[in-house]
Chains A and B, each alone.
Chain A
Amino acid sequence: MMEKMIFGRFMPGDSFVHKLDPRSKLLFVFAFIFIVFFANNPVTYAGLLVFALLVIFVSRIKLYFLINGLKPVIILMVFTFLLHIFFTKEGNPIFEWKFIHVYEEGLRQGIFISIRFLVLVFMTSILTLTTSPISITDGLEVLLNPFKKLKLPVHELALMMSISLRFIPTLMDETDKIMKAQMARGSDISTGPIKERVKAVVPLLVPLFVSAFKRAEDLATAMEVRGYRGGEGRTRYRQLKWDGKDTLAMILLVAMTALLITLRS
């Protein structure tokens, strides 16, 4: 099941989208979330959908892979679609069967909301699929830099994020090890009623937490010895490069916004 999930997964590649600077991608997706709401007629919605499909095409991520991975989201989408169809009672009725009445406006709204939803999910998935988590962290750190003036601990947040990312596989391994150790002692996590299973998780969590705290302490010592004393006066090894591609993406974004505003009714 985990293999199919694509939330937060990164697929390395060397497409145009992969090569964009994380800052431009983040800005683009963030702005996109807002401009999606400019669309309000068939032309603009169709435009958004075509654009999203184009981005997917350029990023060389297979559409069926994307849809397969987004199944839970698509179920949610179908659900909202049905809600709109059944509960919006405006415009001319187009379909009637026993207690089900479908109206023109309901269908319209249902399709629009679904497209909006789909386009947003596509774009954000493309962002995480084509950008490594660590680049996203770097990009966010730079983009959030102005908020330092408001006393937002930007550097610390970014460091926390990158260390968490770094330790996910380590802690997964550890969980696996503890699970096997507890299984060897006769604990059973995978069968039995829910209540029993929840109880069986406790002897898993306790050692995991103890070891996570131990690791945190060790890591803090190691960082201190290596001269870490906050973000002040630090240089960066991972450099972000803004080049023509990124400017192009930004121009595209502005053009899209202008087009949507002109075409909306």
Chain B
Amino acid sequence: MDEILSLDHITFTYSPDEPNVKNAVEDVSFTVHEGEWIAIVGHNGSGKSTIARLMNGLLFPQQGTIKVMNEPLTEENLWEIRSQMGMVFQNPDNQFVGATVQDDVAFALENNGIPYKEMVKRVHEALQQVKMDQLLNHEPQHLSGGQKQRVAIAGALALKPRLLILDEATSMLDPQGRAEVLATVQALREETGLTVLSITHDLEEAILADRMLFMNGGEKFAEGTPSEIFALGDQLLDLGLDLPFAMKLTKLLKQDGVELQGEHMTEEELVNDLWTSNFKK
């Protein structure tokens, strides 16, 4: 598997002149491989959004190197690297640049000087991928939050990026919009094998990832598959992170003496275990 992105002992502080202020990111290393879905979780102020900004050169670390496609990120190759990373931000309104859906998707293409014919093709393809091709000429004020975020994803996809970064992309959406966006990302991964890095505090979203990175106070606290991370149980609760609903329920059921096999991260698993639990006796 190819390496898409690697952070090597990254340290970053917003106020380098004041030694007493704690670093926003402290000695963080991790690698993202092609085709993976990585989730970075942590409560507010854990440094997870700073990491996103470091990855595409909105900020530069004081120590350590960031490599994208095995190339160190520098001021010189910044724009080229940005064109290979799509990023979707938190607020659906504040990242919609174009007057209509198709104009917005085309924005990054225009910036990169893609010829007109190719642009039209890519805009339509990208909108099809997020199932927004029916709303080509809609203006942003007539779209729901979930639809706007899907347009933002299409805008990123149009450049055919190697990596899609979702920086709390679902946190301002209603449950329906959140489900829409997550379903879109899942479908994209199935179809194209896109590498996704999502920064989130929504644990239901993090469960979908292949690997989780748990940040606390600017440091990497734990890394592993979602089941490994959630197995930490009470430690997570102490650090201000909740457990997914199904896991909490499993825990409580076990306390009440219901016999269940192992931990369950999704409701479906739990339900399956529950309705078969009597057969196993």
Contacts and interface: CB of A to CB of B under 8 A. Distances in A.
A170 B120 CA distance: 27
Contacts of B156: 226
A239 B115 CA distance: 11
Contact of A166 (B56, B113, B119, B140): B140
A195 interface: no
B112 interface: yes
A166 B58 CA distance: 25
Interface string B97-125: 11100110011111111111001100100
Interface residues of A, number: 28
28 contacts: A134-B99, A163-B97, A166-B140, A170-B141, A218-B91, A218-B94, A219-B94, A222-B89, A222-B94, A222-B95, A222-B97, A223-B107, A226-B97, A226-B107, A226-B108, A226-B155, A226-B156, A227-B108, A227-B111, A227-B112, A233-B113, A234-B111, A236-B110, A236-B116, A237-B110, A237-B116, A237-B119, A239-B116
A227 B103 CA distance: 15
Interface string B132-176: 000000011100000000000001100100000000000000000
A223 B112 CA distance: 12
A134 B140 CA distance: 14
Contacts of B8: none
A229 B116 contact: no
B113 A170 contact: no
Interface stretch (B12-20, B26-34, B79-87): B79-87
B192 to A, nearest CB: 20
A237 B109 contact: yes
A131 to B, nearest CB: 13
A221 interface: yes
Contacts of B116: 235-237, 239
B186 to A, nearest CB: 23
Contacts of B82: 224-227
Interface in B17-73: 56, 58
Nearest to A224: B58
Contacts, number: 88
B102 to A, nearest CB: 7
B114 A235 contact: yes
Nearest to B102: A237
A235 B115 contact: yes
A166 B96 CA distance: 9
Contacts of A235: 109-110, 113-116, 119
A173 interface: yes
Nearest to B114: A235
Contact of B87 (A215, A219, A225): A225
B193 to A, nearest CB: 23
B263 interface: no
Contacts of B113: 233-235
Contacts of B83: 227
Interface string A171-214: 00100000000000000000000000000000000000000001
B242 interface: no
Contacts of A134: 99, 103
B91 A227 contact: no
B102 A226 contact: no
